[in-house]
A = this chain, B = another copy of it.
Amino acid sequence: MKCRKCDLKAAINMRQHKLALCKTHFLEWVCLQTERNILKYKMFSKEDNILVAVSGGKDSLALWDVLHKLGYKTAGVYIHLGIHGEDQYSTKSQILAENFASEHHLVLHIVNAKQELGKTIPEFSESNKRGKSKPCSVCGLVKRHTMNEIASKYNYDVLVTGHNLDDEVSVLFNNVLGWQIDFLRRQAPFIPAKAGLIPKAKPFCRFYERETAAYAILSNIEYIEEECPFSEGSTTIQNKELLNQLEHQRAGTKLAFYLKFLKAKKELFSSQEGDHFTDEIFSCPICGQPTPNPGNCTFCRMVTRY
């Protein structure tokens, strides 16, 4: 199969777009599409200071690479969660994130959970009823809190994450299965600043996972290939497998599901109140971050309890 734009052999064929491209034109296409998404969803501009949430995986490093190439002002934040498994998962990821930052002469903020919060994610999870079997909810809480804190401390304008289409569709699928209207209402490529929370953007939300992986591989970005050891058997992974079956049966299903959702949202939620953040917001007396209830926030309650 040949590249649609030149005579070279295609490096990737994207069935859902009916588009095959060689390496050079594919890398160019990813940058172009990312720029389009940024503009389409009014995410940020070249003037903004952008904080990239970096995990050391393909999505976040590819995103950082693309934003840097496009000329955006970026720095990264890496949180060492203390997840090791058999293979020193967190430490390996950190090294890869640091390598990328130094090769590109970019700033990388590093937060070490054990050193700065007193415990690793598995340790927090052990001593927390909710995270006993799976530390994913504790991990999400720590990441959200810490990233918002770094963004606020260093005056970043927006936090960007490497969520790809498969991530977004898996979450959407789960929210639809349980008809969680508040979650549906809040799911978006860009979430504006509200009550002390930094704006959040997902410039890769329209790329299939195999496209971001192809970008990282073809760009020779070294990333951690293993999945987080705790993700095994998770609902997210189960959902992704089911959605891949659907995509295999009908190419383009995932992209259509997501884009039609974004369109439907306008009709479904237009006449209703914005979202929960329009409700009263309190300030946590310990960390100062916004919280929906008076008193210490969930994060500080977790950290101080143990």
Q: Which residues of A contact B (CB under 8 A)?
A: 176-179, 181, 238, 242, 245-246, 249, 253, 256-257, 260-261, 263-264, 267-268, 271-272
Report yes or no: B238 in contact with A268, Cβ–Cβ below 8 A.
Answer: no
CB <8 Å contact, B177 and A256: yes
Extra contacts, 14 of them, besides A177-B246, A178-B260, A242-B245 (Cβ < 8 A), are A176-B176, A177-B253, A177-B257, A178-B256, A178-B257, A179-B257, A179-B261, A179-B264, A181-B264, A181-B267, A181-B268, A238-B246, A268-B268, A271-B272
Beta-carbon nearest neighbor of A239 in chain B: B246
Q: How long is the Cα–Cα vector from A264 to B178 in the complex, in angstroms?
A: 10
- Choice from B181, B246, B264 contacting A242 with Cβ under 8 Å: B246
Q: Which of B179, B238, B246 contacts A249 (CB 8 A)?
A: B238
Number of this chain's copies in the assembly equals 2
Task: Say whether chain A's binding surface is mostly helix, strand, loop, or mixed.
Answer: helix
Bound form: Cα–Cα A176–B169 in Å = 12
A254 nearest in chain B by CB position: B177
A264: B residues at CB distance < 8 A: 179, 181
- Residue ID in chain B nearest A267 by CB atoms: B181
In the complex, what residue of chain B is closest to A178 when comparing beta carbons? B260
Distance from A111 Cβ to chain B, minimum over Cβ atoms (Å): 35
Q: Of A179, A245, A249, A260, which is in contact with the most chain B CB atoms at under 10 Å from its CB?
A: A179
Chain B residues with Cβ under 8 A from A238's Cβ? 246, 249
A109 to B10, CA, bound (A): 62
A232 to chain B, nearest CB (A): 14
Q: How far is the CB of A261 from chain B (nearest CB, A)?
A: 5
| Bound complex: CA A261 to CA B177 (Å) | 8
Q: A125 CA to B247 CA in the complex, in Å?
A: 28
Nearest B residue (CB) for A261: B179
CB distance from A248 to the nearest CB of B (A): 10
A271: chain B residues within 8 A (beta carbon): 271-272
Tell me the complex Cα distance, A179–B261, Å: 6
The 7 closest A-B pairs by CB, nearest first: A179-B260, A179-B264, A271-B271, A177-B257, A176-B176, A268-B268, A179-B261
